[in-house]
Amino acid sequence: MRIIRRFSLLAALALAAVPLTAAATGAQEGPDLAFTVRKVVVGTGAPSAVSADCEYNSDASASVVDTLHFDAEGNPVASGDSDWQIEDGAWLLLGGSGAGGVCTFTETTTGGASSTAWTCAYEADVISAPDATQIEQAGCQAPAGAGVGPVDVVWVDDREVSEQASTVVFTNTFTVTPPPIQPAAQVVAQPAFTG
């Protein structure tokens, strides 16, 4: 579900500014921020969904909330208008770092999983600069947890890092409860007399 589409505008503006700064500083062209959301299903699953709520530090009104849908096997399912794209069996969002921000991922529909868990990984190419103080705050706020989240990922501005990426994986485990064992019917044998 789309709440506000300003995130696309800011990402487009950030990407448009990259060639100008690249010429002046020698930086690489293209998106410098990537988010990946995957789903792992153990057992016989059911469709599920994860909400992605991302907000830039520079403009609180530029938040975006998307719902990322997955099928029973954990494959992404396209559903409506979204800035996210499907790549290599996962949801992917590319953009510019801008002034930094935070994304919060929460599994909103588990498909009836008997247990859920998540992991979060973050990588960044740090720019060597004496004022790179926010780097310590960047990345996953926790590496793993049980339940549906929330999973918070903080990213920093493009003066701190040249590239940064995070991967959030939700695992849904489905346990099949075997049907109760029915006792065998009693057989009553009649004595056979021979005589």
CB 5 within 8 A of CB 65: no
CB 95 within 8 A of CB 14: yes
In a domain, 192, yes or no: no
Reference 168, options 191, 145, 195; nearest CA is 145
In a domain, 191, yes or no: no
| Domain count across the chain | 1
In a domain, 47, yes or no: yes
The range of the structural domain enclosing residue 148 comes to 6-173
pLDDT, mean over the chain:
79
- Range 81-104 average pLDDT: 89
Top pLDDT among 75 and 80 is at 75
**193, two tokens:** 């007399």
pLDDT of res. 106 = 97
- Range 32-57 average pLDDT: 93
In a domain, 183, yes or no: no
Query: What is the Cα–Cα distance from 140 to 51, expressed in whole angstroms?
Result: 16
Write the pLDDT tens digit of every residue in 168-194. 999 999 987 666 777 777 766 666 666
Q: What is the largest CA-CA distance in the chain?
A: 114
pTM exceeds 0.75:
no
